[in-house]
Amino acid sequence: MPTVSSTQGQAFGTITVSSTALAISAAGLGFTAVQLDQCSRARITCLTQPVVFRYDDSASALTTAGHYLAIGQTVIIDDNWNVKRLFFLRGTGVDGVVTVTLEG
C-alpha cells in the first residue's frame, strides 16, 4: 500500500528535462523563491523517460554522475538545503518529463 505523506504540498510543477542541466529554480517549474525557501522536502516523479539528478551544486558534473530515476519512480529529497540545489538532466538520449511537489 502506498505511503501518504505527513507533510503538506505547497507547490506543484511539471517540466521537460533535456540535455542541459535544469535547476529546480528554473522558470518552467514555476516555483517562487519563497516557495523554495519554505519547503522542507521535494517529491519527484519521472513520467516519461529516465532522468538523472544531483543536489550538491555540481550541475557541471551531472553529465558524468548522478542519481538515476527510471520511468514511474518517485524519490523524496529531504532538507531545504538539498532541495534548493537540485539539478536534473535527461538520463538517455530522449527528453524526459518530471513532476515536482514541494512539501513543507
Task: Determine the structural domain holding residue 87 and report its residue range.
Answer: 9-103
Residue 94 inside a domain? The answer is yes
Residue keyed to cell 538515476: 68
Residue 38 backbone dihedrals phi, psi, to 5 degrees: -95, -10
27: Cβ contacts below 8 Å, ≥ 6 apart: none
The pLDDT value recorded for residue 101 is 96
* Model confidence pLDDT, tens digit, residues 65-91: 889 999 999 999 999 999 999 999 999
pLDDT band at 1 (very low <50, low <70, confident <90, very high): very low
Tell me if the pTM is above 0.85: yes
- Does 49 score more than 60 pLDDT? yes
Number of domains observed in the structure of the chain: 1
Joined together, the cell numbers standing for residue 101 give 511537489
- Does 99 score more than 80 pLDDT? yes
Residue 30 inside a domain? The answer is yes
Residue 4 inside a domain? The answer is no
The pLDDT value recorded for residue 53 is 94
Residue 3 inside a domain? The answer is no
CATH of the domain at 17: 2.60.120.10
